[in-house]
Amino acid sequence: MKKRLSSFLTFFICTIWLFTSACISPVNQLRTIPFRTLTGLVVDNSGQPVKQAIVTTDPPTSTLLTDDLGKFLITSLPEGVYTVQTAKQGFAINSSIIAIKGLGPFHVDVQLTTRVSAIAGEQEKFSPQNTNRGNNEKKGMDEGSSWWPQK
């Protein structure tokens, strides 16, 4: 009887030990990498939303377009410092730096400035063959010069 009781106690103690050591296994101690979400709003000089603006990050995580309300959402960002670059034809490119650290929330407001040529009514056509501007007059496009609009 004593031998059975001793065997049962040994079995019981070993079972409890195995159960508790399994609960404290290294698998449960693995650290997960938290990801954050960045929201943003893109507006023009007058505060109106800019829809379909291109939003990118550096280091690269995503490239996306703003919605009809000028809003965007970037998910799965690990901690770090990011440059958020926003661009749309007719506007100057905007870059904002944001540090993603901790739990958030993270939000960035971006204001795009209208290009001077667009304000003056000289809408640029973005093509390498563009040598005529505005009222079909050549305006300083020398051989080999850039087809990008000048500030």
pLDDT at 104: 83
- β-pairing, 132-133 vs 80-87, is unpaired
Same domain, 25 and 88: no
Whether residue 34 is preceded by a cis peptide bond, meaning omega within 30 degrees of 0, is no
Residue 64's CATH number: 2.60.40.1120
pLDDT at 83: 95
Provide the domain count of the chain.
Answer: 2
Same domain, 99 and 61: yes
CA 129, CA 151: separation in Å to the nearest integer? Answer: 19
The set of residues, in sequence order, having a beta carbon less than 8 Å from that of 140 and lying 6+ positions away, is none
The residue type at 122:
E
Give me the residue label for tokens 């970037």. Answer: 74
pLDDT, one tens digit for every residue, the chain (151 residues)? 666 666 766 776 766 666 666 555 555 555 666 788 999 999 999 999 999 999 999 999 889 999 999 999 998 899 999 999 999 999 999 999 999 998 888 999 999 999 876 455 554 443 333 333 333 333 333 444 333 444 4
Give me the residue label for tokens 């296994």. Answer: 25
Same domain, 78 and 107: yes
Same domain, 90 and 107: yes
Question: And the tokens for 79?
Answer: 């901690």
Same domain, 69 and 6: no
What ranges in 34-149 are assigned the alpha helix state H? 116-119
pLDDT at 102: 87
CA 82, CA 59: separation in Å to the nearest integer? Answer: 6
CA 115, CA 130: separation in Å to the nearest integer? Answer: 17
Domain that includes residue 111, residue range: 36-123
> Quick check: is 131 in a domain?
no
Which secondary structure element, helix H or strand E, spans residue 8, and what is its range?
helix 2-23
Same domain, 14 and 55: no
pLDDT at 10: 73
The 3-state DSSP class for residue 141 equals coil
